[in-house]
Amino acid sequence: MEMNDITSTLQYWLVNHPAILNFTWNPGQTLGSSPHFLTFTVLSYLSLTFMLSHLSLPPIKPSLLKSITAVHSLFLLILSFIMALGCILSIFQAPHLHWIICLPPQTPPKGPLFFWAYIFYISKVIEFIDTLLIILSNSIKRLTFLHVYHHATVVIMCYIWLQTSQSLFPAVLVTNASVHVLMYAYYLSCALGVRPKWKKLVTDCQLVQFYSSFVVLGLMLYYHFTGLGCSGAWSWCFNVVFFASLLALFADFHAKNYGKLKTKMAGATN
């Protein structure tokens, strides 16, 4: 198959397929589009996480848990790659490339870009399984505030994207999905019994993602105030608070984990 054929095939299945091309986010009609669904989902996640983490659950065979983790990680790895690629191809089909940062005012939430925003939103609910797998593995130390806060809040962010036709989401989606390809590749390798040496790289990429988010936030504001405005511009306030909090938490996690590692290595060298 020639490169043009591969490109055309990807373009059809990831952008021009009728289900993608004709997608519309209809509040109260599209699955998961009501505030009641969002509230119930987030509160259920938080309450179940609290209860299950304080219960003595029956042990699961390590081999079975590793198999489940491997399947879960492989699924999200593939899905993350498809979402990143689908969003990139959809961006290049948009009338203007700067739509990746600034959508025109009153942009309706429909078409390929919003289809991938919706799939991304649903994927964040599926990622709640990450927490369940941590609890079932009895690795409660891994169940940090950062982990739970991130999983609960990112669902709200994705809902706001769709509800307000928020600018910036294509850039965030592509970078986040790309980082998740790396992250779930790491989890998959660990589940298969091979622990890669690039765990720190995953956290480093997450930190770079958050730093870059503030750069594109600034660009969006530039487009907003020097042009005709950007769609969902004021909902970016949630993003600023969210990204700032995650940056602080990830930076703290990085310092505690890899700062200690450097200290140990220095001590061993001495």
1-46 pLDDT per residue, tens: 577 889 899 999 999 999 999 999 999 999 999 999 999 999 999 9
Given a contact cutoff of 8 angstroms between Cβ atoms, the answer to whether 122 and 154 are in contact is no
60-69 pLDDT per residue, tens: 899 999 999 9
Helical spans, DSSP H, in the chain? 3-11, 18-21, 35-53, 62-93, 112-126, 128-136, 145-164, 169-191, 199-226, 236-269
**b vs e for 76-96, b when ≥16 Cβ sit within 10 Å of the residue's Cβ?**
bbebbbbbbbbbbbbbeeeee
Q: What is the mean pLDDT of residues 163-176?
A: 94
pLDDT band at 263 (very low <50, low <70, confident <90, very high): very low
What is residue 1's predicted lDDT score, i.e. its pLDDT?
58
Q: Evaluate if residue 192 carries a pLDDT over 90.
A: yes
Q: What is the mean pLDDT of residues 53-59?
A: 86
Q: Evaluate if residue 141 carries a pLDDT over 90.
A: no
Q: Evaluate if residue 172 carries a pLDDT over 60.
A: yes
Q: What is the mean pLDDT of residues 74-99?
A: 94
Q: Evaluate if residue 116 carries a pLDDT over 90.
A: yes
What is residue 76's predicted lDDT score, i.e. its pLDDT?
98
What is residue 151's predicted lDDT score, i.e. its pLDDT?
96
Q: Evaluate if residue 269 carries a pLDDT over 70.
A: no
State how far the Cα of 4 lies from the Cα of 7, in Å rounded to an integer: 5
**β-bridge mates for residue 24, sequence order:** 110
Given a contact cutoff of 8 angstroms between Cβ atoms, the answer to whether 73 and 187 are in contact is yes
Which distant-in-sequence residues (6+ apart) come within 8 Å of 74 by Cβ?
Answer: 184, 188
Q: What is the mean pLDDT of residues 197-207?
A: 86
Mean pLDDT of the chain: 90
State how far the Cα of 186 lies from the Cα of 198, in Å rounded to an integer: 8
| pTM of the predicted model as reported, rounded to 2 decimal places | 0.92
**β-bridge mates for residue 110, sequence order:** 24
**b vs e for 101-130, b when ≥16 Cβ sit within 10 Å of the residue's Cβ?**
bbbeeebebebbbbbbbbbbbebbbebbbb
Q: Percent of the chain at pLDDT above 70? A: 95
